[in-house]
Amino acid sequence: MDVSARIEAVYAQIVHRNPGESEFHQAAREVLPTLAPVLGAHPEYLDARIVERLCEPERQLVFRVPWVDDDGEVRVNRGFRVEFNSALGPYKGGLRFHPSVNLGIVKFLGFEQIFKNALTGLAIGGGKGGADFDPKGRSDGEVMRFCQSFMTELYRHLGEHTDVPAGDIGVGGREIGYLFGQYKRITNRFEAGVLTGKPVGWGGSPARTEATGYGTVHFAQEMLRTRKKDLDGLTVVVSGSGNVALYAIEKVHALGGRVVACSDSCGHVVDPDGIDLALLKEIKEVRRERIDSYAAAKPGAVFSGRGSVFQVPCEVALPCATQNELTEQCAIALVKNGVLAVAEGANMPCTPAAIEIFREADVLFGPGKAANAGGVATSALEMQQNASRERWTFAQTEARLAAVMTEVHTLCRTTADRYDCSPDDYALGANAAGFVRVAEAMAAQGVV
């Protein structure tokens, strides 16, 4: 059986074993074909069934999360943790609390996390988790009780040398605090390295909050430099207005770019003068209001509840919200408006059709597993600080983050070139580089 036929057989097996999990199918479909040059050069990976083993999680946990709301009503949610691959280190990946969370989404995120974590060069494996719980509109007491119930089941599977969750959509410093408190209470251990994304005052890392957004912008800057450009003076559009988007906007402005539009689930706002980050943070983090409040407060800004933020003309687009938000139609609009580069701050925000349009138009495209690796890289740096009982400064951590993103960018380009592909093919470079690092470790550790 040739390499392409083997890949198709693996994909068919994934669909058969994981029915109805469309996001996981999509992630596998995007990755597997790009591994053909690697597998052709390394038939030993085929003999050892590395790809088949890599696509099957080492452990999948699904559990009930009962809790009591402020009215005394019993609620029941479903929790998940997929421990996908530990060849390079303990499972590492965030927890997502959102009504859309299901096993297929957690698997897609965990699968992507394997490659993303490998690209950082740090000793972390891949995993992901979450629950179909929505913290929006819930009181602190309700969120606390949910988190305590969630951790009461999950704690037995965690540990700084086993599985180290972090935050994701719906899981910020508040939720991490409640989760850690329950873990500490149950285990009677202050095991700081068991969760990352903690507040700085009790084991967190400076720059962790900013890391994913900052790292995405660093990656975009590195891509632009290959064409003798940089962000200074360029017009940028950012989707989302959560943590990743806010700090992507902050870093773009620091590098001289101008973000003219951002969004949330109710629509998008366009500000030709450039997004006022202080106002946006107040609306989203303090007042917890929708994006239309920005337009009401800022003269010259316009809110739209229709269309896409990616229809706004720009030279750089940073999708930082959620999966499959940048569609084929969005990509057509971006190309028509002269976009130069797209870097994914979210996980798999561009559909396969959109990515193909960027490729055909010679638009620089940074896939999420490379472009947004700054978040998990800084989580690993937080683990280092916890292990050594040290605390680095913000400047030290940001410098390490910038260095990691530069190394990831270089690795993607050199790997693509090594397998006789264009260095601009960041998707192939990222997938191949991450796969080789994991495959080598899996082969060395035997059939486990």
pLDDT tens track for 29-55: 999 999 999 999 999 999 999 999 999
Residue 187 assigned ligand-binding role: no
In this structure, which topology does domain 59-187 adopt according to CATH?
Answer: Rossmann fold (3.40.50)
Residue 384's Cβ-side half-sphere holds a number of Cα atoms within 13 Å equal to 14
72-81 tens-digit pLDDT? 999 999 999 9
Query: In this predicted structure, what is the pLDDT of residue 390?
Result: 87
Residue 243 assigned ligand-binding role: yes
Catalytic residue among 107, 128, 251, 298: 128
pLDDT-derived band at 1 (thresholds 50, 70, 90) equals low
87-139 tens-digit pLDDT? 999 999 999 999 999 999 999 999 999 999 999 999 999 999 999 999 988 99
181-207 tens-digit pLDDT? 999 999 999 999 999 999 999 999 999
Q: Average the pLDDT over each of 10-14, 200-204, 228-232, 246-250 and give the range with the smallest value.
A: 200-204
Please say if 369 is a catalytic residue.
no
385-401 tens-digit pLDDT? 999 888 899 999 999 99
Ranges in the chain annotated CATH 3.40.50.10860 = 59-187
Element (H, E) at 128: strand 126-131
Residue 184 assigned ligand-binding role: no
Residue 431 assigned ligand-binding role: no
Q: Has residue 437 got a pLDDT over 70? A: yes
Residue 263 assigned ligand-binding role: no
Of all residues in the chain, what percent carry a pLDDT higher than 90? 93
Burial code (b: 16+ CB inside 10 Å, e: under 16) for 120-138 equals bbbebbbbbbbbbbebeeb
Bridge partners of 264? Answer: 267
This prediction's pTM: 0.92
Residue 113 assigned ligand-binding role: yes
Burial code (b: 16+ CB inside 10 Å, e: under 16) for 150-185 equals bbbebbebbbbeebbbbbbbbbbbebbbbbbebbbe
Ranges in the chain annotated CATH 3.40.50.720 = 210-366
Residue 239 assigned ligand-binding role: no
pLDDT-derived band at 318 (thresholds 50, 70, 90) equals very high
Element (H, E) at 359: helix 352-360
Q: Which CATH number applies to 210-366: 3.40.50.720, 3.40.1010.10, 3.60.20.30, 3.10.20.600?
A: 3.40.50.720
CA angle 284, 262, 260 (to 5 degrees): 125
And the tokens for 242? 């959560």
Which has more confidence, 137 or 248? 248
State the average pLDDT for the chain. Answer: 96
Query: In this predicted structure, what is the pLDDT of residue 256?
Result: 98
Alpha helices (runs of H) in 202-242, residue ranges in sequence order: 208-225
- Segment 423-436 mean pLDDT: 97
266-276 tens-digit pLDDT? 999 999 999 99
